[in-house]
Amino acid sequence: MNYLFDTQALTDYLQDHKIPAFRAKQIQQAIFKEGILDIDQITTLSKDLRDQLSQDFVINDFTLKEKVEWPETTKFLFELADGKIIETVLMYHRHVRPEYEDEIKQRKILRSWTNHDISPKTHKLNRITICISSQVWCAVGCIFCVTGKLGFKKNLPRQEILLQILYANNYIQGKFGKKEDGTWNRVRNVVFMGMGEPMLNYDEMVTSIEYMKDQRALWLSKRHITISTSGVADKIRQLIDDKVDVRLALSLHAPNQELRKELIPMIAKRRDIDELMETIDYYTSSTGNRLFYEYIMIRDKTDTVEIWHQLGKLLKHRNAHVNLIPYNENPAMPNLETSEYDQILKFKKTVESHGVTVTVRDTLGRDVQWACWQLGYEVIMKQRIEDMEAENEAVDSDK
Residues with catalytic annotation?
87, 372
3-state secondary structure of 216: coil
Nearby residues of 125 by Cβ (< 8 Å), 6 or more positions away: 92, 93, 94, 176, 185
Q: Does 230 bind ligand SF4 (CB under 6 A)?
A: yes
CB of 54 to ligand SAH, least distance (A): 35
Q: Containing H/E element for 190?
A: strand 189-192
Q: Containing H/E element for 321?
A: strand 320-326
| Cβ atoms < 10 Å from Cβ of 147 | 25
Q: Among ligand SF4, ligand SAH, none, what binds residue 308 when CB lies within 5 to 8 Å by partner kind?
A: none
Q: Does 141 bind ligand SF4 (CB under 6 A)?
A: yes
Instruction: Return the residue of 132, 325, 358, 360 that touches ligand SAH, per CB under 6 A.
Output: 325
In degrees rounded to 5, what are phi and psi of residue 113? -100, 135
Q: Does 252 bind ligand SAH (CB under 6 A)?
A: no
Q: Does 193 bind ligand SAH (CB under 6 A)?
A: yes
Q: Among ligand SAH, ligand SF4, none, what binds residue 307 when CB lies within 5 to 8 Å by partner kind?
A: none
Residue 80 is given by DSSP the state P
CB of 210 to ligand SAH, least distance (A): 20
Return the C-alpha torsion angle 95, 191, 225, 58, nearest 10.
Answer: -110
Instruction: Return the residue of 74, 170, 251, 279 that touches ligand SAH, per CB under 6 A.
Output: 251
Query: Counting Cβ atoms within 10 Å, is residue 346 exposed (0-12), middle (13-18) or buried (19+)?
Result: middle
Which CB atom, from 35 or from 231, has the smaller least distance to ligand SAH?
231
Q: Does 160 bind ligand SAH (CB under 6 A)?
A: no
Residue 178 is given by DSSP the state B
Return the C-alpha torsion angle 236, 370, 351, 287, nearest 10.
Answer: 20
Q: Among ligand SF4, ligand SAH, none, what binds residue 294 when CB lies within 5 to 8 Å by partner kind?
A: ligand SAH
Instruction: Return the residue of 28, 60, 74, 147 that touches ligand SF4, per CB under 6 A.
Output: 147
For ligand SAH (CB under 6 A), the number of binding residues is 14
Cα distance between residue 6 and residue 140, in whole Å: 29
CB of 168 to ligand SAH, least distance (A): 17
CB of 10 to ligand SAH, least distance (A): 30
Q: Does 328 bind ligand SAH (CB under 6 A)?
A: yes
Cα distance between residue 74 and residue 53, in whole Å: 32
How far separated are the first and last CA of the chain, in Å rounded?
34
The identity of residue 158, as a single letter, is R
Which residues within the stretch 246-275 sit at the binding site for ligand SF4 (CB under 6 A)? Answer: 251
Asked if 277 and 313 touch (Cβ cutoff 8 Å), the reply is no
Q: Does 144 bind ligand SAH (CB under 6 A)?
A: yes
Interface residue list for ligand SF4 (CB under 6 A): 138, 140-142, 145, 147-148, 196-197, 230, 251
Interface residue list for ligand SAH (CB under 6 A): 144-145, 193, 197, 228-230, 251, 294, 296, 325, 327-328, 330
